[in-house]
Amino acid sequence: MKIEILGSGCAKCKLLAERAEEAARALGVPYTLVKITEYPDIVARGVMTTPGLVVDGVVRSQGHVPTVAAIQELLR
């Protein structure tokens, strides 16, 4: 599973990365987590409000930081 955290490095992006990491680990599936911080890369993925969560190329959440439990649902 490929998890991408989109955002230019604001506090919310860091929080999202931490929670996504925790959720992925709890699920126990192999994953890679990458932070996408450059604007051209963010707009190329169809995200307009950061922080964004992209899983295997699909936008799963943007503009807010879901809870760990909610992210687990999004990763399933």
Partner 1 sequence: MHGEPKTCACAAPTSVQGAGFWKSGGWLLAALPAWFGLYLSLKPMADWLAFRVMGLQAGSRLGEAVAFFAYDGPKVLLLLGLVVLGVSFVQTYLSPERTRDLLAKRTGAWGNLLAALLGIATPFCSCSAVPLFIGFVRVGVPLGATFSFLVSAPMVNEVALFLLLGLFGWRVALLYAATGVAIAFLSGWIIGRLRMERHLEPWVMEVPFVASSGAEVPTGFAARLELALQATRDIVAKVWLFVLAGIAVGAFLHGYVPAELLARFMGKSTWWSVPLAVLIGVPLYSSAAGIIPIVQVLLAKGAALGTALAFMMAVAGLSLPETIILRKVLRPRLLATFLGIVSLGIALVGYLFNTLM
- When the beta carbons of 34 and 67 are compared against partner 1, the nearer one is 67
Nearest distance from residue 15's CB to partner 1, in Å? 10
Q: Which residues bind partner 1 (CB under 8 A)?
A: 7-8, 10, 12, 39-40, 42-50, 59-70, 72
Query: For residues 51 and 6, what is the distance between their CA atoms, to the nearest angstrom?
Result: 5
Nearest distance from residue 31's CB to partner 1, in Å? 19
Does the active-site annotation cover 12? no
Query: For residues 54 and 40, what is the distance between their CA atoms, to the nearest angstrom?
Result: 15
5: part of which helix (H) or strand (E)? strand 2-6
- Tokens 């599973």 belong to 1
Q: Give me the active site residues, please.
A: 10, 13
